[in-house]
Amino acid sequence: KILILDFGSQVTQLIARRVREAHVYCEIHPCDVSDDFVRSFGAKGIILSGSHASVYEESTDRAPGAVFELGVPVLGICYGMQTMAQQLGGKVEGGHKREFGYAEVRAHGHTRLLDGIEDLRTPEGHGMLKVWMSHGDKVTELPAGFKLMASTPSCPIAGMADETRRFYAVQFHPEVTHTLQGDKLLRRFVLDICGTQPDWVMKDHIAEAVEAIRAQVGNEEVILGLSGGVDSSVAAALIHRAIGDQLTCVFVDHGLLRLDEGKQVMDMFVGKLHAKVVHVDASEQFLGKLAGVSDPEAKRKIIGREFVEVFQAEAKKLTNAKWLAQGTIYPDVIESGGAKSKKAVTIKSHHNVGGLPETLGLKLLEPLRDLFKDEVRELGVALGLPPEMVYRHPFPGPGLGVRILGEIKRDYADLLRRADAIFIEELRNTRDEKTGKTWYELTSQAFTVFLPVKSVGVMGDGRTYDYVVALRAVQTTDFMTADWAELPYSLLKRVSGRIINEVRGINRVTYDVSSKPPATIEWE
């Protein structure tokens, strides 16, 4: 396995991701772990990450001395290169112009790390790499034993190598996709130079995770809030695999779920997996509290608060429960500046079930916290969850509550559920000829929004005066920015025809053609 020491860069998780994609197991730990930790970890190689500090002098973080004494290969990236240079007797200078973004790096001589890896070749025969750089300071003097491996006009030492000790360092970021050959470079390091085997697969992970959960909870009981979403479902399936009936899932129906969602969750978890699930129909309570409230933030707060209340009431009935399980995944941990990456700057706080563990006095069980979303999905399938469930678009916690504009009424929710089910069904059933994929697969998130306005229509001989819905479908990789999807007109036509004909009460369908930014994905 590979040890990644985190100096706080926002992209440290991408290093882990690239290593895992090479099927090599790795873990990220803070850069200030002890020498003993480093010695006993059993790493076949160590990677030192970049830092969030833009200037070297802002940070006093150094790698534990043991890193350079173990005799295993070390790769320093960005700040990791600077600290390696400093700690091994080279020189780093600050106060330089900040270099940020795309750069072309020239490779020097033959090094095991870069040999044969290049994007283009200059007329003079130099191999060039197209990379992404972000740094203020730079190494100005190589430590003893190192040779120059790469350079740019403004950063004469952009890479260095000590092939005897197998220490390598690059000033650019191989973990981001803008560095075209970054993937190859990291594979070269972990597979060829560190000599790891590409044998980390999901089934090993299940066995390891099951053992870990059993060891952690012993014979105590666990509760889990099942939402029907991917993360809580996979967490539930995994924990159930480990401890069976010691797990109780609580599924709170707030009346703002999609069509038949409650039934699907119960069929899967009770029918197929034989898990213990408490199904709470709290729709009266939620819709009652939401009556007359139209401000989006106020609605969100009420839904969040009621959720905690209902869940807590159920949890109190399970007097033996000592653990609260959550489907927290790795990006959540990073986003909230969580335990593993103490150094990362907090972007936004993230709660799956806000505030629950503190008020319940339960211990937290988070078996997915080292996994990326696609790994969670792979795990779900390996655990026997249906792919349709595991590859579902994300669905917000407040559910249809943020898709019914303004005041929420049960009638509105019922109309919206039926219209939305038609839209999703058509997306799943319509394939794009070029790619052979369904439009559900080709979009990142798609849903219907209920607009509480009425417009005039005509049906048969009669005049109608009914509600309007908007269809929303977006494509995005990170949900921070998104484009509206160019769905085929024929598909939109079929969806609109079906909704207007099949859902009495809706007589007009519109398509949302706004990107994010400046619009958001949801309407509230």
Of residues 435 through 494, those in contact with ligand XMP by CB under 6 A are 445, 479
Per the structure block, which two tokens stand in for 373?
A: 């979303």
Tell me whether residue 78 is one of the annotated catalytic residues: yes
Q: Is 306 a catalytic residue?
A: no
228 among the known binding-site residues?
yes
Q: Which of 253, 398, 484, 507 binds ligand XMP (CB under 6 A)?
A: 398
Three-state secondary structure readout of 350-381 = CCCCCCHHHHHCCEEECCCCCCCHHHHHHHHH
Among 288, 394, 488, 497, binds ligand XMP (CB under 6 A): 394
The one catalytic residue in 118, 175, 261, 366 is 175
- Identify whether the C-beta of residue 228 lies closer than 8 Å to the C-beta of residue 257: yes
Cβ-based nearer residue to ligand XMP, 218 or 394: 394
Instruction: Name residues contacting ligand XMP, limited to 218-247 (CB under 6 A).
Output: none
Question: Considering the complex, what minimum distance in angstroms separates the CB of residue 398 from ligand XMP?
Answer: 5
State the minimum distance, in angstroms, from the CB of residue 292 to ligand XMP: 21
175 assigned to active site: yes
Instruction: Tell me how far, at minimum, the Cβ of 396 lies from ligand XMP, in Å.
Output: 3
∠ Cα 132 133 137 (to 5°)? 175
| Among 67-75, 147-155, 207-215, 389-397, the segment contacting ligand XMP (CB under 6 A) | 389-397
**Residue in 30, 65, 23 with CA at minimum distance from that of residue 51:** 30
Residues 267-306 that bind ligand XMP (CB under 6 A): 300
Closest approach of Cβ 352 to ligand XMP, in Å?
A: 8
Query: β-strand 91-93 against 74-77: which pairing, if any?
Result: unpaired
Look at phi and psi of residue 47 and say left if phi exceeds 0, alpha if psi is from -120 to 50, else beta.
Answer: beta
Task: Choose, from 78, 155, 194, 249, the residue flagged as catalytic.
Answer: 78
Least distance in angstroms from the C-beta of 88 to ligand XMP = 44
Interhelix angle 373-382/202-217, nearest 10 degrees? 90
Q: Which of 264, 274, 241, 234 is nearest to 378 (CA)?
A: 234
Q: Using CB atoms within 10 Å of the CB of residue 473, give its burial: 0 to 12 exposed, 13 to 18 middle, 19+ buried.
A: buried
Answer yes or no: is 229 a known binding residue: yes
Q: Is 260 annotated as a binding residue?
A: no
| Contact letters for ligand XMP, residues 485-524 (x by CB under 6 A) | -------------------------------x---xxx--
* Shortest separation between residue 82's beta carbon and ligand XMP, angstroms: 36
C-alpha span between 266 and 273 (Å, rounded): 10
* 127/229 with CB nearer ligand XMP: 229
Q: Are strands 167-170 and 155-162 parallel, antiparallel or unpaired?
A: antiparallel
Candidates 12-20, 36-44, 394-402, 404-412 — which segment interacts with ligand XMP by CB under 6 A?
394-402
Residue tagged 């139209």 (tokens): 294
Closest CA to 182 of 105, 97, 109, 74: 105
- Write down the least CB distance from residue 277 to ligand XMP, Å: 21
Among 142, 240, 397, 427, binds ligand XMP (CB under 6 A): 397
Among 13, 396, 416, 473, indicate the residue that binds ligand XMP (CB under 6 A). 396
Q: Which is nearer to ligand XMP, 225 or 396 (CB)?
A: 396
233 is in an annotated binding site: yes
DSSP secondary structure, 434-446, as one string:
TT--BHHHH-SEE
Upper half-sphere CA count for residue 415 (Cβ side, 13 Å): 25
Could you tell me which residues come within 8 angstroms of residue 226 by beta carbon, excluding any fewer than 6 positions away?
Answer: 232, 233, 236, 249, 250, 251, 265, 269, 277
- Which residue shows structure tokens 């994010």? 516
Closer CB to ligand XMP, 410 or 516, in the complex: 516
Tell me the β-bridge partners of 438. Answer: 431
Q: How many CA atoms lie within 13 A of 169 on its CB side?
A: 31
Could you list the residues that contact ligand XMP (CB under 6 A)?
300, 394, 396-398, 445, 479, 516, 520-522
Positions annotated as catalytic residues are: 78, 173, 175
Binding residues for ATP: 227-233
Binding residues: 227-233
